[in-house]
Structure 1
């Protein structure tokens, strides 16, 4: 999993429910847009997290972002705290391990 340190990501959901993928467009530090696919969401210690992979490069590392809500707005936020990051990655790895049994 990649771990980048940048701020809030505004995102657009592809609301065409004919597709099975939830596509979110993220803009990286260089201003390049990436179409990301939400592959998993989970809760840990009263926070929600989502796992995204690049729609056009599924072999690339995924990214885990914290889901934050402000009224009706939903934001995906990078996890800047290394302790939180380590715990969230461990929880996600445990989930993957359980699901692969």
Structure 2
């Protein structure tokens, strides 16, 4: 069993990530993104769900932009091109199924 306070994990400075859980089928990461920083479009390595803990993100999925705010959940599928820009200092949890 793992107990972790997600809001107090990694500091928000540029772009940082920390794996908080992993097994042979599934992993969860905490990612922090400083306001104005961008993660360029890239193919999703697995089906994933993103839960925004704090902040605001402009999230692009295959050319369609979504504005998400704290407490929003967003999912996307393996292979989908996705990227983001932090509109505010932000922190999110991303959980994904690992490829077999």
Q: Is TM more than 0.5 here? A: no
Please report the TM-score for the alignment, with normalisation by the length of structure 2.
Answer: 0.25
Larger of the two Rg values belongs to structure: 1
**Which structure has greater strand proportion?**
2
**Which structure has greater helix proportion?**
1
